[in-house]
Amino acid sequence: GAGVSQSPRYKVAKRGQDVALRCDPISGHVSLFWYQQALGQGPEFLTYFQNEAQLDKSGLPSDRFFAERPEGSVSTLKIQRTQQEDSAVYLCASSLALDYTGELFFGEGSRLTVL
Amino acid sequence: AQKITQTQPGMFVQEKEAVTLDCTYDTSDQSYGLFWYKQPSSGEMIFLIYQGSYDEQNATEGRYSLNFQKARKSANLVISASQLGDSAMYFCAMREGNSGAGSYQLTFGKGTKLSVIP
């Protein structure tokens, strides 16, 4: 497809389980972002990739969160030993522009529920 | 201080009427971009409109216009001729030009829930 694709759309995990969320950005988009959106809140920045390089991971809430984009296209966000506070929608976005002017194109998100 | 402030948690508007959604921002950068996104209940973030800090004209996209008042640091979204399908969450967001990490991340407000009444 032409848009940003995320999978799975829904994930239920038991507390303590590891989860992996996948993002397939728009072809040719160099910039890739991960955001976390808690219920009733705006998205909050987690991490940023320019091609395969992770240039900013200042938003990752703990060392249980890990993201990679090894070949500069598909990205995976991994959460280890999930906790209930990790329950949120995880949004992936990609952008063509390398500066502040470009629109971010978002995927539909992966909704994680930790029991 | 919050970088993006949306003071209206919820708004109601009659179908076919115009509505203004408020947004103020805080930045010391001279170069920045302001965005509005719509998020229906299905969850996807839909881009509506963009205003650059150096743009002298207010941005317009169809029924959407952005009332950009730089001195007041406000970037209100105006939706004209509201439709039932406009019912959704609306988020104001900013990308700052002076990003030390080079990420040019979008910073979002908390959103406004718009309900269009038939």
- Average pLDDT along chain B, 118 residues, taken 10 residues at a time: 91 97 95 95 92 94 97 97 97 85 83 97
Question: pLDDT value at position B100?
Answer: 63
Check B104 against A55: CB less than 8 A apart. Answer: no
* Chain B residues touching A100 at Cβ < 8 A: 31-33, 95-97, 99, 104
- Chain A contact probe: residue of B106, B107, B108, B113 with most A CBs at under 10 A: B106
Handedness of CA B79, B85, B88, B90 (dihedral sign): negative
- Decide if A77 contacts A34 (C-beta within 8 A): yes
Question: pLDDT value at position A112?
Answer: 98
State how far the alpha carbon of B94 is from the alpha carbons of A8, A101, B32, B81, in Å.
Answer: 28, 10, 7, 26
Check A43 against B108: CB less than 8 A apart. Answer: yes
Q: A84 by DSSP, 3-state: which? A: helix
User: With 90 as the cut, is the pLDDT of residue A115 above it?
Assistant: yes
Question: pLDDT value at position B4?
Answer: 97
In residues, how long is chain B?
A: 118
Mean local confidence (pLDDT), A58-66: 95
Mean local confidence (pLDDT), A13-18: 97
Question: pLDDT value at position A49?
Answer: 94
User: With 60 as the cut, is the pLDDT of residue A109 above it?
Assistant: yes
Mean local confidence (pLDDT), A7-14: 97
Residues of B with CB under 8 A from a CB of A: 4, 31-33, 35, 37, 42-45, 47, 50, 52, 91, 93, 95-97, 99, 101-111
Residue A44: how many CB atoms within 10 A of its CB?
A: 16
Check A43 against B95: CB less than 8 A apart. Answer: no
- Decide if A34 contacts A49 (C-beta within 8 A): no
CA distance A103 to A86: 27
User: With 60 as the cut, is the pLDDT of residue A1 above it?
Assistant: no
pLDDT digits (tens, 9 = 90+) for A77-104: 999 999 999 999 999 999 987 777 788 8
Higher pLDDT: A36 or B97? It is: A36
